[in-house]
Chains A and B, each alone.
Chain A
Amino acid sequence: MNLYEFCYGIIHWLVDLVNNLWYWLGDVLPWVFGDFFDAVGDFAASDSNIAFFTILTEVLIIVIIALINVLNFIWLDRKFMGRMFDFYGPYYVGYRIGGWLQNLADGIKLFVKEIITPAKADRVGFLLAPVIFISSSFLALATIPLGRDFGIATNESGAGVPAGVLVAFAMFAIAPFSILIAGWSSNNKYTLIGGMRSAAQMMSYEIPMLLTVASVLLLAGSFSFSGVVDAQHDLWFAIPLFLGFIVFMVCLMAEVEIQPFDLPEAEAELVEGWTTEYCGMRFGLFMMTSYLRGYIGGALATALFLGGWHGPELIPDPIWFLIKAYTVFVIVEWTRWSLPRVRVDQILDIGWKRLMPLAVLNLFIAVAFKTMGWF
């Protein structure tokens, strides 16, 4: 049973329940409404309607999973940072579960803060930017399955979407657009510079990243996550494509704006970068989404290079997937706290002069493997 069937079952049961109520009402009150209840019941029980609600339920489940993952990630980040920095990290709120509730407390604090829109900001862009940023990030999550049959965008036979990898990366790449809008519409010099930096950085890092992804897809011979992961049943792609894995991780850190490459929000020179003018829960949503993007990055690296949900049978598939994604995230955090920030011209140099040739070389290696018939 995959996630779709699970949700379908639940929705079907619910609809039946409600329908019975309506049929009963139709029996009891026929002189008032006539056949109205029967018509409603038939409509509700139609396949298309149930499928619609099934997909909504799936989306809800995935969003809840994503949000819990984000809370976990923030908690993990702060705990790990605390251990690196010689303090405990979150401790008192949720004392029994290691301070896990601290994030919820912070979220509540952000919720009750006043939300200010700057007087001279471009209101439409200012309000639209978070929406695009958050929704595109959640959409990127849509096609990434946690297990063979546990993901939102699965069709009814349980296989993933045919071009899931492409959809995920396309959604992942929308964010710089919203960052640029946010930076420009805030009408602030720092946000403007941050937005421009973000655009330049993400454009120059998108290409080597997609080249490494192309090498993976070439070896796997499939555009769907299930295909890519199944191709790694015997050997993780991180081993033959080690070069590509390194390039991918560096590009990922740039895409997710993690510390050595967090130029768009370099807090030392640009105050808070492109989020400077956002306050309250809008900023909270931005921050939450950046952690969500960290999770997506870890999930992408896991699915494409680290064998996805394959692992010893002891642990269920989705848990394997999460363990790997969390490990990738922790390693990224480790580099994040122990490296200074690079400069804007240097980041472009790294992207175009170092990573780009390496990515092309990696693609050649993949082609060579494929022509030798090893994959």
Chain B
Amino acid sequence: MWINMGPQHPMTHGLWNLRVKVDGETIVDAEPEVGYLHRGIEKLCEDRTYPQIIPISDRLCYGSSMTWSHLFCLTVEDLMGVEVPERAEYIRVAAIEMQRIASHLMWLAAYAADLGLMIGFIYTMRDREVFIDILQALTGSRITYNYPRIGGVAHDVPPTFGRDALRACSYMEKRLREYEDLFDGSKVFMMRNVDVGKLRKEDAMNLGVTGPPLRASDVRYDLRTDMPYSVYPEMDFDVATHPDGDCYSRYRVRMIEMAESCRIIRQAVQKMPKGKWRIRAPRNAPVGTGLGRVEDPRGEGMMYIVGDGTDRPYRVKIRSPIFVTVSAAPKMLIGYKLADVVAIMGGLDMCIGETDR
């Protein structure tokens, strides 16, 4: 029996369709279908000037919009050859890592709700507010920030930024231990996660899975250390990996990543130099190409921009991590129960905005 889980389904967290073929409750075949939320963002970008694209790239992912606007700015800076002031880089790193924590917390909330743990949903969303508030003080908005600029960031940090960020980090580290009590300490949670949705290392690499699902399959691949951008080389942090490749590993990897993000935010705030936060970037891009790759909370995000000498890009190509990762869904799903669909697909942290672009 084929079951359409989607496009309108509580499991999907967006607008996509997972067709699963079940034998009783066991999944024998699965087929993800994406494309319901295609907004033609790549085409939209061709008709706008470079600064006008920044808010559009924010709209790529509702969970981690800062990462995507930063990625766009990174790519255009590569295209134009703009050097970003060091203070701006530190601000960006702090903001991106906050965004990563907020994104992971939103994932954890959705994941807990998927598994039926309603209190996990509420508590994680509540703690996400802490970081959203700081980002709001920094940028002026809560979800789509429109904060990075080509050649820096829009504004300097507010005077209380450092204090708030450090406080939020120590608060978060305390809360993370509480989450471990709530999630790992729950026998039912472990029953639902351990040995569910196994993704072998070879499959993960062959299918182009990136981000936490890949690191959960015991592949140490993180663009922040493997192809460092911004000021990540100066940061001291560990790349989280887990050997098992199941849902529990993905959960663990994200939990460790949140702790590491706290470390990075702390270092970024403490090492932040004084100086300019933005330089004037040229209006027109030269004829050529720019490439940017960042470690999105969901995997490897990549942008490729072709400039044709005008103030508008000739072509913008966006590589979405989830668009690639979701192709591994059949590998993970087949053989497990129907109820595991929510655990497995929830563990991927689907974000349809960037998948369908």
Contact = CB atoms under 8 A, between A and B. Distances in A.
Interface of A: 81, 84-86, 189-190, 193, 259-260, 262-263, 266-269, 271, 337-346
Contacts of B287: none
Contact of A340 (B25, B116, B340): B116
Contacts of A268: 10-11, 113-116, 342
A85 B119 CA distance: 6
Contact of A338 (B5, B9, B114, B119): B119
A263 B339 contact: yes
7 contacts: A85-B122, A86-B122, A193-B25, A266-B339, A268-B116, A269-B5, A345-B25
B337 interface: yes
B91 interface: no
B118 A269 contact: no
A373 B10 CA distance: 56
Nearest to A197: B25
Contacts of A266: 116, 339
A345 B337 contact: yes
Interface of B: 1, 3, 5, 9-11, 25, 112-120, 122-123, 126, 182, 186, 188-189, 191-192, 337-342
Given A263-B339, A268-B10, A337 B25 contact: no
Contact of B192 (A190, A193, A262, A340): A340
Contacts of B11: 268-269
A313 to B, nearest CB: 39
Nearest to B3: A189
A158 B339 CA distance: 50
Given A85-B118, A271-B10, A346-B191, A340 B112 contact: yes
B120 to A, nearest CB: 8
A269 B342 contact: yes
Contacts of A189: 1, 3
A344 B339 contact: yes
Nearest to B126: A86
Contacts of A271: 9-10
Contact of B337 (A85, A267, A343): A343
Nearest to B4: A189
Nearest to B115: A340
B337 A344 contact: yes
A81 B121 CA distance: 13
Q: Which of A259, A263, A340 has the most CB of B within 10 A?
A: A340
B119 A343 contact: no
B119 A260 contact: no
Given A269-B341, A344-B339, A339 B117 contact: yes
Given A189-B1, A271-B9, A340 B117 contact: yes
Contacts of B9: 271
